[in-house]
């Protein structure tokens, strides 16, 4: 799972600034998922993307949060006008195309820790 | 919607002994996967073991094994011969199986902090 690359690992933002978190999936993976882990809690699903498409964003907050996975380049999770409650670990995971997946091939990155001061 | 419940916020065990972590889930689905993930102090998410719901045989990975009770919707993790490196947060997770897509949306429990004492 070291193949899923996230950066930055740690990000500090002041309230009102924007945070951008990047995720490069494993080679051959075209599906990306973002999860958020608040302090002392489990991971919560945010969004599922394929190249140039958002498939499921049912876990995304309605405002200030957006995600994209362009044809070229990494997936980006963008948080506008951050507030203290956005402080959390944000994990990216990736999986291969549907022909290969049977439930066990989801790999996580090492997470990006956002601290809002 | 699925829910996953881990009723043990914290557990501790002596090195070399056996410990069991509990997990229950609620779903109306018949085809799904269950997972245990380990999150050590480094915070990386590491897959420990996986169980397909359609398989009656309990999954085993070296010192890690599960007790999967589908009717009871229970999925406990047993760690044998506990090692200091097993100290971590452990998460139980559920994923619905999709026949025609690669939908990897996981629902996680709240986690159990396991401490292995020397």
Whether pLDDT at A1 is above 50: no
Q: Which DSSP category does A4 fall into?
A: S
Residue contact B108–A31, C-beta within 8 A:
no
- pLDDT at position B69: 95
- Joined together, the tokens standing for residue A17 give 């600034």
Give the number of other CB atoms < 10 A from CB of residue A82.
Answer: 21
* pLDDT band at B43; cut points 50, 70, 90: confident
Q: From the candidates B33, B48, B105, which should be mutated to test the interface with A, based on the most A CB atoms within 10 A?
A: B105
* pLDDT band at B112; cut points 50, 70, 90: very high
Model confidence over A7-53: pLDDT tens digits? Answer: 999 999 999 999 999 999 998 888 899 999 998 788 999 999 998 99
Model confidence over B77-107: pLDDT tens digits? Answer: 999 999 999 999 999 999 887 665 556 789 9
- pLDDT at position A28: 82
The single residue listed with the structure tokens 């995600």 is: A67
How far A34 CA sits from the closest chain B CA (Å)?
10
Q: Closest Cα to residue B22, out of B89, B82, B78?
A: B78
The single residue listed with the structure tokens 């994923």 is: B95
- pLDDT at position A104: 57
Residue A11 has, within 13 A of its CA and on its CB side, a CA count of 27
Model confidence over A39-92: pLDDT tens digits? Answer: 878 899 999 999 899 989 999 999 999 999 999 999 999 999 999 999 999 999
- pLDDT at position B25: 97
Q: From the candidates A42, A53, A88, which should be mutated to test the interface with B, based on the most B CB atoms within 10 A?
A: A42
Model confidence over B3-41: pLDDT tens digits? Answer: 999 999 999 999 999 999 999 999 998 888 899 999 998
* pLDDT band at A96; cut points 50, 70, 90: confident
User: Which residue from A minimizes the CA distance to B52?
Assistant: A103
């Amino acid at each position: 799972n070291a193949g899923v690359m996230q950066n930055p690992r740690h990000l500090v933002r002041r309230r009102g600034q924007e945070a951008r978190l990047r995720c490069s999936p494993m080679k051959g993976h075209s599906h990306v998922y973002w999860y958020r882990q608040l302090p002392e809690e489990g991971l919560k699903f945010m969004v599922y993307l394929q190249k140039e498409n958002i498939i499921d964003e049912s876990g995304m907050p309605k405002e200030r949060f957006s995600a994209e996975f362009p044809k070229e380049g990494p997936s980006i999770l963008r948080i506008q006008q951050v507030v203290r409650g956005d402080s959390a670990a944000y994990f990216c995971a990736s999986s291969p195309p549907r022909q290969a997946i049977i439930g066990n091939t989801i790999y996580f990155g090492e997470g990006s820790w956002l601290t809002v001061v | 919607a699925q829910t996953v419940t881990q009723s043990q916020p914290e557990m501790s065990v002596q090195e070399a002994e056996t410990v069991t972590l509990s997990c229950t889930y609620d779903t109306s689905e018949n085809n799904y996967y269950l997972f245990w993930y380990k999150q050590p102090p480094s915070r990386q998410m590491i897959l420990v073991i996986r169980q397909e719901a359609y398989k009656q045989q309990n999954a085993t990975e070296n010192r890690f094994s599960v007790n999967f009770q589908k009717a009871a919707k229970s999925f406990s993790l047993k760690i044998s011969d506990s090692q200091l490196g097993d100290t971590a947060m452990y998460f139980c997770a559920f994923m619905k199986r999709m026949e025609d897509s690669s939908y990897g949306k996981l629902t996680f429990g709240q986690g159990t902090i396991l401490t292995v004492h020397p």
